[in-house]
Amino acid sequence: MNPSLIDQLQTCHGLPLLGADSYDPFVYGNGNVVLFFCNDPAQFPESSDVAVILPELLKAFSGRLHAALIAKPIERELQARFRFIGWPSLVFLRNGEYLGAITGIRDWQEYRQETARILAATPSQPPGFDLNKVCGAAH
């Protein structure tokens, strides 16, 4: 059986899988980081697309960005901290402080532009939840 594209991020590209014990040392020890929240790729098949894009994004921003996968047991807690509502999501931090997030699948140019914009940003608080989106309320 072929390893999944998510697994290949670890086996072929050397990305760590962060759990409760390894999260803080990674995000506080690597400057600019991007965290990949993939949830269940069977339920969110776009996660496999992002698994292909992420190594290319790291190449495009060579030396400026370190990436890691987030382990399932801490995904929901971190989702609440960073306040993103969709899967898959890439969350960008600098020295542990929030810079921004890209949720869902985008085209390559959007990933490059959005990543450049996020890396140029000053750390801030994550945005508040849009209850209309979270609850599916109509306008």
State pLDDT tens for residues 77-120.
999 999 998 999 999 999 999 999 999 999 999 999 999 999 99
Which of these, 23, 92, 36, lies nearest to 64 by C-alpha position?
Answer: 92
Sheet hosting strand 89-94, strand order edge to edge: 17-18, 66-70, 32-37, 89-94, 97-103
Tell me how far apart the terminal alpha carbons of the chain are, to the nearest angstrom: 47
**Could you read off the pLDDT of 13-34 as tens digits, one per residue?**
999 999 999 999 999 999 999 9
Note whether 44 and 38 are within 8 A (CB): yes
Q: In the chain, what are the domains? A: 5-135 (3.40.30.10)
- Residues 6 or more apart in contact with residue 56 via CB below 8 angstroms: 108
pTM for the predicted model, two decimal places? 0.91
